[in-house]
Amino acid sequence: MSNAVRVLNDMVARKIAAGEVIDRPNSIVRELLDNAIDAQATRLDLSLENGGISRIRLVDNGLGMSREDMALCCLPHATSKIRSEDDLMHIRSLGFRGEALSSIAASSRLDIISTRDNETNRLSIREGKLTAPVPWRGEKGTIIEASDIFYSIPARRKFLKRPQSEGTLCRKTFMEKALPFPDRHFQLSIDGKVKLSLPPSSLKDRIAAAYGTAIPGGMLVQRQAVLDGFDITIVAGRPELNRNDRRYIQIFANNRRIDEYAFMQAVQYGYDEILPGGVFPVCFVFLNVDPALVDFNIHPAKREARFRNGPQIHHELVSLIKDFLQEFRQVRPKATMPEARQIDLGESAQKDSSGRLGPMVPQRSPSGPSSPSVHKSTSSWSKNGSASSVSYPATPAAQSEQFARLVRETPPLRQELTPGLREEAGEGESIRYMGQIMGVFLLAEVGTNLYIVDQHATHERLLYERYRNEDPAVQELLIPLEFEASEEEIRFMEAQKDVFNTLGVFFRTKQESLCEITALPRAALSLEKEIISFLKCRKGSPAELQKDLYATMSCRNAIKEGDAIDPGAAMELLKGALALENPRCPHGRLLWFRLTQKELYSLVGRIV
């Protein structure tokens, strides 16, 4: 074989290009549906045989193609969507590259019947050879049929999955195209049987119809926000409609499904005070963005996009979701036992032996004492919430008294029952502390109700409220903490430097990839790894950065599983827990659940 450079023949070049656009049957489904939608079709009927491997057929009632258009449509880079380079900056159609039909023709046997202006023509392509369009009979719109997928590219065909798996992927693509267009009728048939028919409806009803019992329509709420340069519509599930994966967090931009992790993360931020870690919401996000502010021309399947106003979209999406969830913040937890919590019993987060401590930063003074963590270690405690430089063995009684005092210095939002609990308990009823069980839970009786309270989660939430409502007490480090960071991480850190400083985290860049932390909040002195990760996170608005830092600090500094607690300190935690309108820790876990007298009687078969 000669090593000379040669120009590939047209068919080989087209097969190579086709491999970038068409990698399996669902890619053909995607491209055909895009073309039909761009042709203003209001009814789209898709049929698959053998998972789309044997045949994919789409019938639409769109504008159709003229005889002249049909002669050009399967040539490389032939399109009706754009005319000039400037059009790439203002793309409103789903397709625009002119590669779809050319790539499909290179990887399958393609037949097209199309009607426009009462003229119907048929076109066939085999092995890249196009037959001249011939007159045919047909109704308005287009019928496109691709059969024997990858018959001309055996190497690609042998890597296809089982027909059932390929059919599942085709169905997923079909649904992704149908969801953003609820005003159009979509129908999917597989091996001659109608599997999904979606008549015109509202956006919320379209999603409910597409997913059936998996997403009940009654559990969905639709909200919209119109802003400068973009608008956001969400169809979001109530908190109790959740999953253990992100399958139903879906982002659409200008009617395209995209894989945008930053916006998926924004959805999770929106729910993070309602749902615990590892539990994910159901939320469909539809963005309508000025085409000049977004670039879709960066991925063969257009699954990725670059947004000039990405941070603003992220912020507004979080705000829209949190506003929607406000009505659920006062919903009381059901009397069901939560999953067992695994709590780290390692060494206290507050013990410091690094010798890094310097003087307090003069311009940052605490507005009140900060609560420390409660440990089993032998460090003493200072009012600012860190381990004292003097260490001595502390007796259990001494530790209990110290903790009681420190918890009392951690004020909850208010020291009274919420109106809802007062109504349940009855006028004049108070909290009666009954004891600690399993080293984790506090038992309390309020009226005829039994409350089981998670001591760690409760203390964590109260500390979080304290950190959030007070200026941080900042400690300068005698020996700065050095760490390495990438160029992208440093850019983010420098851009958010004022935010980090407001939170009490001070750093500077020493060299190209070396930074050092010079001061920290006293409650975070022993959280070196966590603070470094926090600085390098490269994402989040100022409010989200504040929440992430304070949630980490409160979790590490809160009383742990197995820590003893005296009645006085326990009562302070109980008062705090039952005074909160939204009884959840910063990570979304419930602080308590309630058993009524009726429920307790029922558990033991006692007649009320």
Per-residue pLDDT band at 590 (split at 50, 70, 90): confident
User: What pLDDT shows up at residue 488?
Assistant: 84
Residue 301 has pLDDT above 80, yes or no: no
Report the pLDDT averaged over residues 202-216: 94
CA separation for the pair 22, 25 (Å, rounded): 7
3-state secondary structure of 143: strand
8-state DSSP, 386: S
CA separation for the pair 514, 189 (Å, rounded): 59
3-state helix, strand, coil in the chain (%, to 5): 35, 25, 40
Q: Of residues 578 and 357, which shows the higher confidence score?
A: 578
pLDDT per position as a tens digit, 470-489:
888 898 988 899 999 888 88
Q: Which of 12-16, 58-62, 520-524 has the lowest mean pLDDT?
A: 12-16
Q: Of residues 346 and 34, which shows the higher confidence score?
A: 34
Strands (E), 302-414: 306-307, 357-360, 379-381, 387-391
Give the per-residue SS3 of 75-119: CCCCCCCCCCHHHHHHCCCCCCCCCHHHHHHHHCEEEEEEEECCE
HSE-up of residue 119 (Cα within 13 Å, Cβ side): 10
CATH topology of domain 10-198: Heat Shock Protein 90 (3.30.565)
User: What pLDDT shows up at residue 392?
Assistant: 32
Cα distances from 394 to residues 375, 384, 386, 448, in angstroms, run: 10, 19, 16, 39
Q: Of residues 553 and 364, which shows the higher confidence score?
A: 553
Tell me if the domain spanning 344-608 has CATH number 3.30.1540.20: yes
Is the torsion defined by CA of 540, 544, 546, 547 positive or negative?
A: negative
Per-residue pLDDT band at 208 (split at 50, 70, 90): very high
- The alpha carbon of 383 is separated from its chain's Cα centroid by a whole number of angstroms, namely 38
Contacts of 451 (CB under 8 A, 6+ apart): 443, 444, 445, 574, 577, 578, 592, 593, 594
User: What pLDDT shows up at residue 601?
Assistant: 87
User: What pLDDT shows up at residue 428?
Assistant: 46
pTM here is 0.63
CA separation for the pair 97, 81 (Å, rounded): 8
So where are the chain's domains? Answer: 10-198, 203-328, 344-608
Residue 39 has pLDDT above 60, yes or no: yes
Burial class (CB in 10 A: 0-12, 13-18, 19+), 303: middle
pLDDT per position as a tens digit, 219-252:
999 999 999 889 999 999 999 899 888 999 999 9
User: What pLDDT shows up at residue 356?
Assistant: 53
User: What pLDDT shows up at residue 388?
Assistant: 32
CA separation for the pair 107, 131 (Å, rounded): 17
pLDDT per position as a tens digit, 314-336:
999 999 999 999 877 644 444 33
Mean pLDDT of the chain: 80
User: What pLDDT shows up at residue 353?
Assistant: 42
User: What pLDDT shows up at residue 331?
Assistant: 43
Sheet holding 592-596, edge to edge: 431-437, 441-446, 449-454, 592-596
Residue 415 has pLDDT above 90, yes or no: no
Per-residue pLDDT band at 350 (split at 50, 70, 90): very low
pLDDT per position as a tens digit, 562-576:
888 888 888 989 998
- The alpha carbon of 566 is separated from its chain's Cα centroid by a whole number of angstroms, namely 41
Give the position of tokens 């399993």: 438
| Bridge partners (DSSP) listed for residue 234 | 223, 285
Q: Which of 16-30, 289-303, 323-337, 367-381 has the lowest mean pLDDT?
A: 367-381
pLDDT per position as a tens digit, 491-533:
889 988 999 999 999 999 988 889 999 999 988 888 888 999 8
Report the pLDDT averaged over residues 109-126: 91
> What is the number of other CB atoms lying within 10 angstroms of the CB of residue 131?
11
User: What pLDDT shows up at residue 359?
Assistant: 53
User: What pLDDT shows up at residue 19?
Assistant: 57
User: What pLDDT shows up at residue 411?
Assistant: 45
User: What pLDDT shows up at residue 13?
Assistant: 67
Contact (CB, 8 A) for 436 and 374? no
DSSP string, 15-82: HHHHHHH-SSHHHHHHHHHHHHHHTT-SEEEEEEEGGGTSEEEEEE-S----HHHHHHTTSTT--SS-
CATH code of 203-328, in short, is 3.30.230.10
Report the pLDDT averaged over residues 350-374: 43
Residue 341 has pLDDT above 60, yes or no: no
Per-residue pLDDT band at 419 (split at 50, 70, 90): low
